[in-house]
Structure 1
Amino acid sequence: MSRPDDTPTVSADFNLDSGESAVWTGSPRLSAAAGGLLAGGGLALAGVAVLVGAWLPDVPSRSPLVGLALVVVGLLVAAYRVVEVRRTRYLVTTDALHVRSGVFGRRVARIGLERVQNSAYRQPLAGSVFGYGTVSVEAAGGGDLAFRRIENPREVRALVDRRVEIAADPIPGTVEQWEAVLEEVRALGAVLAR
């Protein structure tokens, strides 16, 4: 998780509003691709078995093209899932929550902090041991989103809750305006102290 003094780098894909700045960025752990890797690996192994069987004399004839096709499809399934996980990014800004994903295209989902109604985090047993989990956010009007298989989900949820709280009760005015008010109050205090 980013420390407050770190400014996360943000891809141009997020198209932040003016005045909006990044507070935290993250991505899913590569282990999120495990299902695709297992499925793809299983297909590739089945393809290798068909290829080997096609050349054995005592095994009924099977087309080597079927085996080759299974290997290629298996490798493509595994590669697609890894790329999909690697291209997914999560972002918490001063104004919103963002999820960017997509392999061939790009999908960016955004929920303004003022629409967030509830947040939760979930850690399976393995997630508790290895420090990952999912942060889910419910939004008014639908469009819920989740930061899946991220590091330190409890801290990220706490950060989201703090940002929502700040968005719900912002301090009016700019820093410069408040410094001017402070200067006037000090001048008034000096006059009254005489």
Structure 2
Amino acid sequence: MDESFDWFSPDDGEEVIWAGKQHPYSLVPVFAVGIPLTLVVFGLLIIISAYLTYQNTNYLVTNEALYKKTGVFSRNVQRIEFDKVQDTSYRQSFFGAQFGYGTVDISTAGGSGVEMSFDNVDAPRDLQSLINERNKKRGTGAASGDDKNAVLDEILVELRAIRDAVENSGEPANPNTNPSADGDWDWNESEDDRL
């Protein structure tokens, strides 16, 4: 893409692996509504607004993060690192399905709903696949069994400490009361035995 990204300042080792803008055909519905309304001048404002948004919106996918730049008179650059990406989805309107564009939504861990959208981009399914593949390469969302057991051990120790504190009128509990010989908890114990 021969677009200048003067708004993008990459970190060391960060490389652009995809760059895009809104699909030009995403303006078709705007023109379909705006041209008849130009008689009222309101349609002309709709067309100009949509065109300026189209020209001033850029998206980047790098090996480190996702970027979205918007703004006509000002500049707003949003960045989400891959280790925070929780879920992706894409959607297409009627016109989007006909002309091959759609929106890719990105949700983050700890966020509420969609945190970033790549609106009206070409081949949204391919972009979603690219983001998902890059996310898997970064190793997000896949904790090993040992990591899960360590977290469960910590939770169990805290629960025992809370139980002992309540039963012993606030005396601190010894968290190492029932570990196995190798220091791990015996997960084959019944739930009552563990607590």
TM-score (norm 2): 0.62
Using the TM superposition, give the Cα deviation of residue 110 of structure 1 relative to its aligned residue in structure 2, in angstroms.
Answer: 0.6
Query: Unpaired runs of 5+ in structure 1?
Result: 1-6, 47-70, 170-194
Pair 82,9 (structure 1): closer, same or farther in 2 beyond 3 Å: closer
> Which residue in the other structure is 2:183 paired with?
none
* Per-residue Cα deviation, 1:104-147 (whole angstroms, up to 9, x for no partner): 11111110000000011112343333221111110123271111
- Whether contact under 8 Å (1:38, 1:78) holds in the other structure is no
When the two structures are aligned, how many residues end up with a matched partner? 138
1:11 aligned to which of 5, 9, 13: 5
Amino-acid identity (%): 34
Using the TM superposition, give the Cα deviation of residue 83 of structure 1 relative to its aligned residue in structure 2, in angstroms.
Answer: 1.2
Paired residue type of 2:6: A
TM-score (norm 1): 0.62
| Separation in 2, partners of 1:79, 1:114 | 38
| Separation in 2, partners of 1:145, 1:34 | 24
- Whether contact under 8 Å (2:69, 2:78) holds in the other structure is yes
Alignment of 1:1-194 (within 5 A): 11-34=5-28, 36-38=30-32, 40-46=34-40, 71=41, 74-142=43-111, 144-168=115-139
- Whether contact under 8 Å (1:30, 1:86) holds in the other structure is no
Q: Which range moved further: 95-104 or 125-134?
A: 125-134
Root-mean-square deviation over aligned CA pairs: 2.4
| Separation in 2, partners of 1:34, 1:152 | 17
The higher relative CO (CA closer than 8 Å, separation ≥ 6) is in 1
- Whether contact under 8 Å (2:91, 2:104) holds in the other structure is yes
| Separation in 1, partners of 2:27, 2:9 | 27
